[in-house]
Structures are given as structure tokens and as C-alpha cells.
Amino acid sequence: MIVVTGAAGFIGSCLISGLNELGYKDLVLVDDFSKTEKAPNLDGKEFSKQIDRSEFHDWLEENNKLVYFIFHIGARTDTTEFDTSIFDKLNLNYTKKVWNQCIEYGIPLVYASSGATYGLGEHGYSDSHDIVEKLKPLNPYGDSKNDFDKWALKQEKSPYFWAGLKFFNVYGPNEYHKGRMASVIFHAFNQIKRDGLVKLFRSHNPEYKDGEQLRDFIYVKDVVDVCLFLMEHRKNSGLYNLGTGKARTFLDLAKATFKALDLEPNIQFIDTPEDIRDKYQYYTQAEMDKLRSIGYDKEFTSLEDGVDDYVKNYLKEQKYY
């Protein structure tokens, strides 16, 4: 059995599709399945069992001998949530319990960290363990992810293989339920369909022109490929960035979305809201040497190719992966 937590969510449900495509059908899905808006993400997927996240630890205690691998993707990911107790419960303490059970039962673990741990990038974007204590995330979500990374690195005992993946700006199918937390591509597509234009934040930093703020956008299918590689690799434990290693502008993203729809670009700029202006990231770019050094050699999907696939094969048809 392979366990996927956060199974009904964006990345988790795409990972299930990737596992199914490789012939893995004996999957245990863990999530809060009462959230019906996420249910379509699991339509057509093949798996053995669904377990409510509140019951998972007890289930694992009884069934650990059957478990081959755990992908702990589940987390509270709302960057606008400021109730730290929610993040302590769902992101920090829940993951500590999973970690300790993996040690006790000899189960390898991949868990979701985040590029949000890097804050404004004052210390760069290296996934070296040496800078983890110095990082200053910009919100409680980023803090919760960095707090777990710090805790994990201090532990005398760890799962025999573990990897914490620092996801950068992930986009792609199965994010229909995410609302305002969905990717910019998702919102751009819907703006174009509704209004015939895309609105991007104006730059309030003299070093960047409007629309030339930079992000490392990674297609969710590449995220799945890396997860599957690590499941087979199972050595070289540690924290790993998961981006493309190539920052692109929001203008590039908007133009790619228009192109995928065979439309001429129509882009307007609006002021960045004042309440997030001082915490706005103008540049993120994952350093990817570490993942490459352990043997991952697959090319990452270009922004243009990823947006084209996402728009034409999923968003236009309202389909799921």
C-alpha cells in the first residue's frame, strides 16, 4: 500500500493519477472528505481505501506492516489565514506524528514543505540545510512549514528515507476548488473568458517594471514526476527545492495563457493591495542543483508548454487529471 495524504486536494489528486498511470492501484487516500467541492478530483481514480485524516494515525498503528511508502501532501495551505493554532495542529503537530510513526514502523516518507519558507529571499533560495534556521517566512503558513523543517533537522532519529519538498509556484489541473488560492494561470484564464483581459499587479518596486515580477512556476505533472522518482530512489534524505530553476515574469504567464486560447494579449495593471504590498515577493527562483545531484535528470516543462497543456486539455474542457 502507498498512502497519500491530502489526497482530494490539488497536488495529492494529481499524484494519485501519476501512481495509477504506473500501475499503482493499492492506494490509501487520507483527507477531510467532507469537503464535497474536492470530490471531483478523485473521480475515476483507482484506490483501495479512503480514511479521514482524524483517523489516520490510529489506522497506521494497526496497518503499518502493509504500508510501502507515505506521501504526506496534506496541509492547510491558505497564506491569508493568520490563526496560528490551525497551522500548529494541521501542519506542524500532525506532521510530527507522521514522522515519528514512519520511524517506528520503518516507512519512507516524502512530505510537503514550501517555497514560502524563503520569505522575501533575503538568504537566497538554496535548499541547503545550513540556512533553514535563518529563514523568515512572510505568513503563518510559511512559518508552519519552516518550523517543521527546523524540527526535522534537529531530530536524532529520522525515517530511513525522507524528503521534504519545497514546492514553489505549482499550477495545473485539479485546482478548481482552491478559489483565491488557485494559481495565477487559473485566474488569468477565467478573467479572459469573463472580461477578455488579464489584470496583473503593478510593480511598486523601481527595480521591476509592471508585470516583470518574477516567479518560479512549476507544472504539477513535474511535481508528480519528482515524487515518483523519490519513491523509487529512497536515498539521500533531506530538504529539496521543487521548482524549475528558471524564474519567469507574470507577463510571460499572461501572454502564454492568451496564446493557448488563440487570442491577442490584453493586459491591464492594478495596484497591489496595500495590506500585502510590503510582503510581496518580486523574485523567486529555486536552486535545483541538489535534486539534480542525486540523479533526477528529467527536463522540467517550460511555462509555455505547461500553460498550453493546462488550458487546452483541462481548463477549456473543465476536465480533471
Beta strands 214-215 and 69-72 are unpaired
Interatomic CA distance for residues 210 and 255, integer angstroms: 14
- Which cell goes with 160? 530511513
Residues 6 or more apart whose Cβ sits within 8 Å of residue 273: none
Is residue 162 within 8 Å of 110, Cβ to Cβ?
A: yes
Q: How far is CA 202 from CA 46, 179, 199, 212, 258, in A?
A: 44, 22, 9, 9, 19
3-state secondary structure of 49: strand
- Residue 316 CA from chain centroid, whole number: 23
Place of cell 489506522: 59
Residue 150 among the catalytic residues: no
Q: Which of 96, 178, 246, 290 is catalytic?
A: 178
Residue 216: name the closest of 125, 311, 101 by CA: 125
Interatomic CA distance for residues 37 and 185, integer angstroms: 20
3-state secondary structure of 70: strand
Q: Where are the beta strands (DSSP E) in the chain?
A: 2-5, 27-31, 49-52, 69-72, 109-114, 162-167, 169-171, 198-201, 214-215, 217-219, 238-242, 248-249, 267-270
Interatomic CA distance for residues 191 and 187, integer angstroms: 6
Residue 312 among the catalytic residues: no
Q: What does 102-131 look like in DSSP terms, one character per residue?
A: HHHHT--EEEEEEGGGGTT-TT-S---GGG
Q: Which of 111, 125, 141, 219 is catalytic?
A: 141
Catalytically active residues are 141, 178
